[in-house]
C-alpha cells in the first residue's frame, strides 16, 4: 500500500527538472538559507498518513502539502519554532517526530537519563556497601598466622637449594 502511494506520489513529484534532493523542484525556495531550514524542519515532521516517515522522505500528497506549508510559513518570515507551533496548532503533537519536552512527554524524555543515573547510583551504592562489608568480614590474621605467612614468603624468596 505504502509502496503504491509512494509511486503515485513520486510521479506527481517528479514532473519537473533535476534538483539535488528529494523535494520537488517547484517547492524549492529561492532563498537557500531558508531552503536549508525548510529541509531541516521537514526531517523532524511526520507524514501523518505514513508510518514513521518524515515529510522529507515521504512522497505522499499530504507530505508535499506539508512541505509547501512549511515553506510558505518560512517565506512569510516565521521562525523555525513559529512554523512548528503553527503545525502543532493545526495537527497536534502527532506531527512532530521529535516530541516536545513538556508535561505529557516529561517521562519519555527523562526516562533514559534517569535510568542511567539511577542504575549508576545503585551500582555505586552496591560497590560501597560490598567493600565495607568486605572489610568487616575479612578476618584479621592471628599473630601465629602472621609468623607462618612471613616464614612461607621468606621460603618463596629463597632459591631452592639444589
Partner 1 sequence: MIAESGHYALVLALALALIQSTVPMLGAHQRDVALMNVGRSAALAQLVFAGLSFIALITLHVTSDFSVANVFENSHSMKPLLYKITGVWGNHEGSMLLWVSILALFGAMVALFGNNLPLSLRARVLAVQAWVAAAFYLFILMTSNPFARLATPPIEGRDLNPVLQDIGLAVHPPMLYLGYVGFSISFSFAIAALIEGRIDAAWARWVRPWTLMAWIFLTLGIAMGSYWAYYELGWGGWWFWDPVENASLMPWLAGTALLHSALVMEKRNALKVWTILLSILTFSLSLLGTFLVRSGVITSVHAFASDPTRGVFILGILVLFIGGSLTLFAGRATALKQGGLFAPISREGALVLNNLLLTVSCATVLFGTLYPVIMEALDFKLSVGAPFYNLTFGPLFALLLLIVPFGPMLAWKRGDLVAAAQRLLAAGVASLVAIAIAWAWARGGSALAPLGIGLGIFVITGAIVDLVERSGVARVPFRTALHRTRGLPRSVWGTAFAHAGLGIALLGIVCETTWNSELISTLRPGDVRNLAGYEIKFDGMTQRQGPNFTEVVSTFIISEDGRQLSVMTPSKRSFATRGMSTTEAALMTRGVSQLYVSLGDTTADGGLAVRIYHKPLVLLIWFGPVLMAFGGLLSLSDRRLRVGAPRPARAARALQPAE
Find the part of the chain contacting partner 1 (CB under 8 A) among 31-39, 73-81, 106-114, 147-155: 106-114
Instruction: Indicate whether 7 belongs to the interface with partner 1 (CB under 8 A).
Output: yes
End-to-end CA distance of the chain, in Å?
A: 88
Instruction: Indicate whether 17 belongs to the interface with partner 1 (CB under 8 A).
Output: yes
Find the part of the chain contacting partner 1 (CB under 8 A) among 29-37, 78-86, 88-96, 149-157: 88-96
CA geometry: angle 148, 151, 152, nearest 5 deg = 85
CB of 161 to partner 1, least distance (A): 27
Q: Are 62 and 48 in contact (CB under 8 A)?
A: yes
Instruction: Indicate whether 18 belongs to the interface with partner 1 (CB under 8 A).
Output: yes
Instruction: Indicate whether 11 belongs to the interface with partner 1 (CB under 8 A).
Output: yes
Closest CA to 7 of 67, 63, 65, 59: 59
Pick from 65, 90, 99, 147 the residue near partner 1 by CB under 8 A.
99
Whichever of 43 and 90 has its CB closer to partner 1, that residue is 43
Q: Are 22 and 57 in contact (CB under 8 A)?
A: yes
Residues 53, 49: Cα–Cα separation, whole Å? 9
Burial of residue 48 (number of CB atoms within 10 Å: 0-12, 13-18, 19+): middle
Pick from 36, 65, 76, 92 the residue near partner 1 by CB under 8 A.
92
Q: Using CB under 8 A, count the residues that bind partner 1.
A: 49
Instruction: Indicate whether 36 belongs to the interface with partner 1 (CB under 8 A).
Output: no
Q: Grid coordinates in use for 80? A: 523555525
Closest CA to 12 of 26, 2, 1: 26
Instruction: Indicate whether 96 belongs to the interface with partner 1 (CB under 8 A).
Output: yes
Residues 157, 54: Cα–Cα separation, whole Å? 72
Query: Site residues (CB under 8 A) for partner 1?
Result: 2-4, 6-8, 10-11, 13-22, 43-44, 46, 51-54, 57, 92-99, 104-105, 107-109, 111-112, 115-116, 119-120, 123, 127, 130, 134
Amino acid at each position: 500500500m505504502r509502496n503504491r502511494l509512494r509511486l503515485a506520489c513520486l510521479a506527481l513529484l517528479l514532473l519537473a527538472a533535476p534538483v539535488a534532493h528529494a523535494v520537488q523542484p517547484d517547492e524549492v525556495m529561492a532563498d537557500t538559507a531558508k531552503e536549508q531550514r525548510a529541509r531541516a524542519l521537514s526531517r523532524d515532521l511526520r507524514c501523518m498518513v505514513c508510518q514513521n516517515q518524515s515529510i522529507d522522505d515521504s512522497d505522499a500528497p499530504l507530505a508535499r502539502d506539508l512541505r509547501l506549508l512549511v515553506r510558505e510559513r518560512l517565506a512569510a518570515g516565521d521562525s523555525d519554532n513559529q512554523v512548528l507551533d503553527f503545525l502543532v496548532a493545526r495537527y497536534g503533537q502527532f506531527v512532530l517526530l521529535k516530541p516536545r519536552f513538556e508535561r505529557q512527554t516529561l517521562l519519555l524524555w527523562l526516562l533514559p537519563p534517569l535510568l542511567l543515573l539511577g542504575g549508576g547510583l545503585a551500582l555505586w551504592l552496591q560497590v560501597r556497601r560490598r567493600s565495607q562489608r568486605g572489610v568487616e568480614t575479612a578476618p584479621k590474621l592471628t599473630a601465629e598466622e602472621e609468623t607462618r605467612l612471613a616464614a612461607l614468603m621468606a621460603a618463596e624468596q629463597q632459591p631452592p637449594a639444589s
